[in-house]
Structure 1
Amino acid sequence: MANPSKITEGGVVYSLGHFDGKQVRYDFSKVLTYLDAKGKLLFGRKFQIHPEDREVLLKLCNYMVRDHASCRKQGIDPNKGILLSGPVGCGKTSLMKLIRFITPHYRPYEIIPARNVVFGYNHIGHRIIEDYGNGHFYCFDDIGVEPMGRHFGKDCNVMGEILLSRYELFLESGLRTHGTTNLNAQELEERYGKRVRSRMRELFNLIAFDQSARDKRGHPPKGEGPVKEKQRKR
């Protein structure tokens, strides 16, 4: 890519910052403008970036653009994956679908609903665990609320097994895995056990919405608009 700081969508060129020929100095306000436009293309004209999501978005952006200095300040390890947590409907899945578009020059991850993984196991058995324990980039959506797998009368905690496989891949090759979840740490441990929960701590950076974050799938509060952010260079 000639200039990774510029992205064209619908015939419009969006600048995300300044490219000096070696690296991009991202401008968060410009990134937000692009994400708002891209979100409307992906999810419809009612999509908007909410002011209360700014802190979560800033962390996700710093992670995605590999801003190591900002990641250190925010306690994020850029070599690990992201586990985005928060209440139902707060926008986790939409943000994980959206945020990958700001770095088209990096290898993208595929978003897979955890329940679909289990349905696959129910159909073809253990091979599904092998299939997702490969070298591809994945973001597993809604981790922890998927049903228990069952194939030929045998129960299996499918996502727990896959997370263990992805952890081994992470140790061997540094391959990152992402996910979203509605559950807190205690609930995840109850769902998967202490061993998997321990591996998840090493596999993921936890980025969390406030537990009071509202369900954005309803109507937005009257008068609310997109985030307006002063320009700042990163």
Structure 2
Amino acid sequence: MENPSKIMEGGVEYSLGKFDGQSVKYDFPKILVYLDAKGKLLFGNRFKIYKSDKEILLKLCSYFIKDPINCKKYEIDPNKGLLLSGPVGCGKTSLMKLLPNLVPHQRKYVVMPCRNIVFAFNHLGYKTIEDYGESGVFCFDDIGVEPIGRYYGKDCNVIGEILLSRYELFLHTPLKTHGTTNLNADELEEKYGERVRSRMRELFNLIAFNQNAPDKRD
């Protein structure tokens, strides 16, 4: 049987904990060692795990490995998606690309910038909303700062419509929706309206960086 507590990267074997033949007892410090190494492979040698991010990482890791104790402690529902919020440059997108590597046996999501989806809508129209709203597993990157869509002279709040469709999808299938955003709850409601904001509460576990988190791109 394949041992899910071991992962090979770049010819090096990393241990994430202990496997008893049925389940993995994960070891958070070992997970951080692996994430640091995998992050450097994905994003370059400037990538590093910051001490100030360890609580955020513990919550994110608990979600991905479905740790029942920590999920309960942090009020995380593993059946819902993730909305990772925080200021520009704090590392949201990188972490949402990195963390699924902890659980290679689970279905991966596709990270899609919201502005790219709106540009597709401007060319292709409402089929774009169907493509992203009615199937697949996605992480919508930078929710709330995308422009309004416009197709044949008619404006459309594209991501808002997609989120409403994703909510209906969530009610009837196990398909999750994930996202990142720089905006707070009030700003999201101003962008999309109270109805979409309400649906987002049902779709997502909110995990937030401190608003004073530094820009790691400097």
TM-score (ref. length: structure 2): 0.98
Deviation at 1:135, TM superposition (A): 2.8
Q: Distance in 2 between matches of 1:29 and 1:144?
A: 34
Secondary structure in 2 matching 1:32: helix
Aligned match of 2:39 = 39
Aligned to 1:97: 97
| CA displacement at 1:53 relative to structure 2 | 0.4
Write the distance in 1 (CA, Å) between the matches of 2:191 and 2:199.
Answer: 14
Residue aligning to 2:76? 76
CA distance in 2, matches of 1:138, 1:34: 24
Using the TM superposition, give the Cα deviation of residue 21 of structure 1 relative to its aligned residue in structure 2, in angstroms.
Answer: 1.0
Structure 2 residue aligned with 1:130: 130
* Count of residues in Structure 1 that have an aligned counterpart in Structure 2: 218
- Report the alpha carbon displacement of residue 61 of structure 1 after superposing the two structures with TM: 0.1
CA–CA distance in 2 between the matches of 1:3 and 1:152? 54
Equivalent position of 1:188 in the other structure = 188
Q: What is the Cα-based RMSD across aligned positions, in Å?
A: 0.8
Matching residue of 1:117 = 117
Greater shift, 130-139 or 178-187, is seen at 130-139
Query: What does the per-residue CA deviation read over 1:181-218, in whole Å, with 9 as the maximum and x for residues that have no partner?
Result: 00000000000000000000010000000001010001
Q: Deviations over 1:16-71 (max 9, x none)?
A: 01111111111000100000000000110111010100000000000000112210
Long gaps (5+) in structure 1:
219-234
- Kindly state the Cα deviation for residue 175 of structure 1 after the two structures are TM-superposed: 1.6
Match for residue 152 of structure 1?
152
Q: Distance in 1 between matches of 2:107 and 2:21?
A: 20
Query: What is the Cα deviation at residue 4 of structure 1?
Result: 1.0
Deviation at 1:11, TM superposition (A): 0.4
* TM-score using structure 1 length: 0.92
- The whole-number CA distance in structure 1 between the counterparts of 2:161 and 2:112 is 16
What code does the residue aligned with 1:190 have? E
Instruction: For 1:149 and 1:212, locate their aligned partners in 2 and report how far apart those are by CA, in whole Å.
Output: 31
1: CA distance, partners of 2:118 / 2:5 = 39
| Aligned structure 1 segments of 4 or more residues deviating by more than 3 angstroms | none
The residue that corresponds to 1:57 in the other structure is 57
Alpha-carbon separation, structure 1, partners of 2:33 and 2:52: 16
The one-letter code matched in structure 1 to 2:214 is R
In structure 2, the gaps of 5 or more residues are: none
Q: Which has the higher contact order (CA 8 A, sep 6+)?
A: 1
Q: Name the residue aligned to 1:142.
A: 142
Q: Is 2:155 aligned against 1:162?
A: no
Percent of pairs with identical residues: 69
